[in-house]
Structure 1
């Protein structure tokens, strides 16, 4: 029989997510978990009523940082420093645990030995999620996910680890994107394990605009260029962008056809082009920023 800790600390990052945060807080405290749950919410300058909602609810300890100062690594490390418990869970404010088993199923892979590193939840999209992004959630988190064949995949949106792991391998504080990818790659190099807790489910999705898709792809690629072994010449316009975009379009078309969402293929094609262009530009910018030899 699995022995669960007597208490956990849940660190929630929040910024203008009044529309989602109450449901996430409620779901946290509705868990089938006999121990104490400490919820710490770090808000980075919300102006949509989130702060008042958190204060009125009264179940979380609120930490406010000034608007415009948010950087993922420092905030994640601050949360761990402020936490009073050794088992630490990170949960985005707009990621709502789907059921009462979310926490236990998330803790399960790491309980026997903290050296096992970190576990992360499955994410399922909201009902209003556009086809192109719903397809991505299938590719990353679905029962037949492609991500199992990728060289690496992890998401910080809903994950659990032990304080000793964070002490041994702190989260890097100078990256504005992809800090979770970089952190877990270092964990693996240090002998820790990254586990996918497929039965721990959080509801989470975004309908990014084309501009937002480009920006996020640019930011992730720039950050990951700090350690990537892929030379910029291999992230080129004719092969990586155009041929890759065509392959993306075929996959999206097949998924949309299978799930009766064929009208989504046109927007998907535009998103994929924005993502490819963003990743190419970000990768090149990252190599230059980190002063790597070209």
Structure 2
């Protein structure tokens, strides 16, 4: 029998200074049972590990950078956790309130067939209005479907509808929780990208359930520069093609058309006032990000046609695994 009802596993690398807020919220979680906090650091050089060693309630595991893997390192976290459920956060995802962990566990406890739960993301206050709107719209979309899903909801549609399959295997380890007994049967794949969605697909196809916990919310957002957006979109497209067979914006001429349309939309789109005042600077940055997104997707979908040196320079994943 596990010692704890739940454990929280956080992966860090050069996470300061934002990690202080994350850990403050993590250690303040209110639960009717005890939980443990495990942090796995892969070679920080900015004071992250020194700070973590000061936290008596945190179990710190340090690994060399070359041993890091998105699936491999999370498997290590689950393996060492003495808990029924294991929640994951990234070092830049801050729980909004002190009920975050209890909410995740409460959703998982609704049915013993629920293998994984993911929670909502909202943007930090400092994020652009467009980023705030994007995250709001994305997670609001899950409320239009059952909060607990499985392949059995519509088996025929699962076989024929790519969009439906994407919905069923959407999962984000920025804010998630898994049932360890299922993980012991279906651990994370040792891959360089999308370990969370690949794992979700494996549990769905094995007949388990996946749940959404809209009240288990974290602050997590990024306003990417043109180059960072291009590189992230490149990795996303290249790896979605590799692991899922999805081709994102594969045709250059159609991609150019989409770039023009999305750039124009950035200057015309009106947002809800709750997301803040939209400035000209916001619109210019949004247009650049949309162009970079489609360009990165197109390059990633056609990566095998690119020189190896160019693919390597475009990939953020390649830089991470060389670090």
* Fold shared by both chains (TM-score > 0.5): yes
Distance 1:182 1:286 in 2: 22
Q: Which moved more, 1:90-99 or 1:68-77?
A: 68-77
- 1:246 Cα deviation after fit: 1.2
Distance 1:9 1:68 in 2: 25
Matched, 1:168 2:185: yes
Q: What is aligned with 2:62?
A: 64
Which residue of 235, 254, 257 maps to 1:242?
257
Q: Which moved more, 1:119-128 or 1:206-215?
A: 206-215
Give me the TM-score of the superposition, normalised by structure 2.
0.79
Which residue of 287, 296, 306 maps to 1:269?
287
Distance 1:230 1:67, change over 3 A: closer
Distance 2:67 2:232 in 1: 18
Residue ranges of structure 2 left out of the alignment (5+ in a row): 146-162, 309-323
Tell me if structure 2 keeps the 8 A contact 1:256–1:262.
no
Q: 1:90-101 residue pairs with structure 2 within 5 A?
A: 90-101=88-99
Find the residue that maps to 1:226 and give its secondary structure.
helix
Q: What is aligned with 1:254?
A: 269
Tell me if structure 2 keeps the 8 A contact 1:213–1:271.
yes
Distance 2:234 2:252 in 1: 15
Tell me if structure 1 keeps the 8 A contact 2:266–2:287.
no
Tell me if structure 1 keeps the 8 A contact 2:4–2:83.
no
Q: What is aligned with 1:73?
A: 71
Distance 1:214 1:100 in 2: 36
Give me the TM-score of the superposition, normalised by structure 1.
0.86
Distance 1:145 1:245, change over 3 A: farther
Q: What is aligned with 1:280?
A: 298
Distance 1:108 1:202 in 2: 17
Matched, 1:209 2:225: yes
Q: 1:3-152 residue pairs with structure 2 within 5 A?
A: 7-141=5-139, 143=140, 151-152=166-167
Tell me if structure 2 keeps the 8 A contact 1:11–1:39.
yes
Distance 2:108 2:47 in 1: 36
Tell me if structure 2 keeps the 8 A contact 1:249–1:272.
no
Distance 1:240 1:167, change over 3 A: farther
Tell me if structure 2 keeps the 8 A contact 1:114–1:161.
no
Find the residue that maps to 2:39 and give its secondary structure.
strand
Tell me if structure 2 keeps the 8 A contact 1:249–1:268.
no
Distance 1:253 1:200, change over 3 A: farther
Distance 2:260 2:144 in 1: 18
Distance 2:142 2:130 in 1: 15
**Residues 119-167 of structure 1 deviation map (CA, whole Å, 9 limit, x = unaligned):** 11111111111234323212322x3569968632321101111112212
Distance 2:120 2:189 in 1: 24
- 1:97 Cα deviation after fit: 0.9
Tell me if structure 1 keeps the 8 A contact 2:107–2:211.
yes
Distance 2:206 2:262 in 1: 35
Find the residue that maps to 1:16 and give its secondary structure.
coil
Residue ranges of structure 1 left out of the alignment (5+ in a row): 290-294
Q: What is aligned with 1:224?
A: 240
